[in-house]
Structure 1
């Protein structure tokens, strides 16, 4: 066997047996294969769940779906950074350090191992009404005509896949804060930019004027750096901040 075939990878995984239980680390040694990603490592562990001490254990629980960096479900903290397991290549990680370390996102409750409950993000989308009501019982005709630059901005905002990386790196998202997070603010900006969605911009802005809303953003700008889809989150936060100010002034003048 050549050296490449004999090469192995040390993989350190943060485990947790159930909600609320104490976490612990386990280390596995996996045979190196070309073009492996982190999902490949977890699949190899599932096929042979034996630690470096020779202890047989349960396969690591994690969430994944598309395996194409589209669905956002496989977000994890990999070598200290929040990113997608499906498109994080092992060889690139080994260039950073000799061991691959995988942990769950820390800003969400752990269900088990690397699988977290991201309900807070979906609840935030409900709060800002991140949808456009459409009457599907009658003909809706052609869509509204928009300027190309507006369409381009909306496309960039629509790339959000609700992965949670922006919340993971945001210092304002913590157990002491009610901050709704950059993801929901970005989606509120997206739907307020749509000609039809703008009809419900008032309730969206009012939701973001409540405690935990736009004013709780500390402008750390970590979110835009961590976003795997390059969503212009800081632009969206700035726009929503201006829009909420104007909305508050109009509301005061109309009293």
Structure 2
């Protein structure tokens, strides 16, 4: 299926430099706050709903411990200069892909971009001059939090009823998206090299709905009964073939850095 989709995408005309440029905008720096680490954690699952019971017998807690991949939290700081004489709306897109293949041969840009994962996409306003945009790994539209267990939901409901407070479950409304813990691919003990790129485009042209810069999250999959917020296709501007990488790497609103993702084995 992937090869059919790629064949279609590769049949499209590559983006031109003029289409990719965002006049007056320059991405100056990309900084990641913490060392990027993945590890396995023991997670306790409640299996109480998986067992038949009767009203005559009191429920007995049944749990299972599983090992699952997760990562440490991190922040991405992007330094952007707005050389225009006015404030502008911008769409910030952050991607990453492995730098090398299994034979430690570096991926050409056109191959690497097809392996890219989207780490974040959001709208923001850029004031005149220098701007530093910080994005936390826990606030990305690509992933969703784990849904609480049934017992946890019962406990939260009882607490809300007892205190008369509201029961906030907004974070768990969506059943779409990867779990937050899967935002980073599994690294290596010695570190796995990744290419991280940031592309800033014209947010006023990209936005299909109003007020996106006021939202702290962006749903990667869209929204119910509404317009998909982004006028650009998924993966833009990496969705089309790149015959000459200088076309995209040469625009000032694009920047790339190399990082390592480490995997830490628990003792």
Report the TM-score range of the alignment, normalised by the length of the smaller protein: under 0.3
Q: Which has the higher contact order (CA 8 A, sep 6+)?
A: 2
* Greater helix share, structure number: 1
Q: TM (normalized to structure 1)?
A: 0.26
